[in-house]
Amino acid sequence: MYETILVPTDGSAGADAALDEAVSLAAAFDATVHSLYVADTSAAQPETGYVDIVESFERIGEETTAEAVERAETDGVEAVGAVRTGLPHRTILDYAEAVDADLIVMGTHGRTGLERYLLGSVTEKVVRTADIPVLTVHAHAEDDEAAEEEGGDESVGTEERN
């Protein structure tokens, strides 16, 4: 069904939920997961130390994708980490084409209140323009709270995230 599954990541709770979904799909179909981090060049202006900012994004990207690869391999899923520089949605689509991905899995900004109904702009653009299927996953509310408040205000008991 799927052989190559691309999961763009930005380190958010939504991206974590997407990774979980991608890994379980990959395990079911013996597929390879690609974890892609895009160092967003539009966020770095030349006058603000372009090279430094891109380099620090790339370092974060290396760490984030290495964690994702480890997470996938823990479940016996073959995984590849990649860091690219560019405009996020364009870079994601180019990478998907380059590795011949047959599915892109992305998180949505599934927080509480109004934000629950707001897609991430990158996810929105990929959903609108990708030629291949895009699977979107909401982060669970408790994951978002935990990510935002470092532990959250109310214990959700045995919720485990590896």
Partner 1 sequence: MSTERVPSELRFVVAVDGSDASDRALDHAVAMTAAVGGTLTVVHAVDPDVYDTGGPDPEGDRSEAERRLIVEDVEDAENRGEEVLEDAAERAAESGLAVEAELLYGNPVETVPSFATRAEYDGIFVGHRGLSEREERVLGSVAKGLVERADVPVTVVR
For partner 1, the binding residues (CB under 8 A) are: 1, 21, 28-29, 103, 108, 117-119, 123-124, 127-128, 130-138
**Are the beta carbons of 116 and 107 closer than 8 angstroms?**
no
Q: Give the number of other CB atoms < 10 A from CB of residue 9.
A: 23
CA distance 105 to 96: 11
Minimum distance between the CB of residue 118 and partner 1, rounded to whole angstroms? 7
C-beta of 50 vs 117, nearer to partner 1: 117
Minimum distance between the CB of residue 108 and partner 1, rounded to whole angstroms? 6
C-beta of 61 vs 107, nearer to partner 1: 107
C-beta of 52 vs 97, nearer to partner 1: 97
Q: Tell me which H or E stretch contains 6.
A: strand 4-8
C-beta of 29 vs 53, nearer to partner 1: 29
Minimum distance between the CB of residue 27 and partner 1, rounded to whole angstroms? 11
Residue (of 82, 48, 47, 76) closest to 62 by Cα position: 82
CA distance 53 to 45: 9
Which residue is associated with the tokens 């209140």? Answer: 113
Minimum distance between the CB of residue 127 and partner 1, rounded to whole angstroms? 5
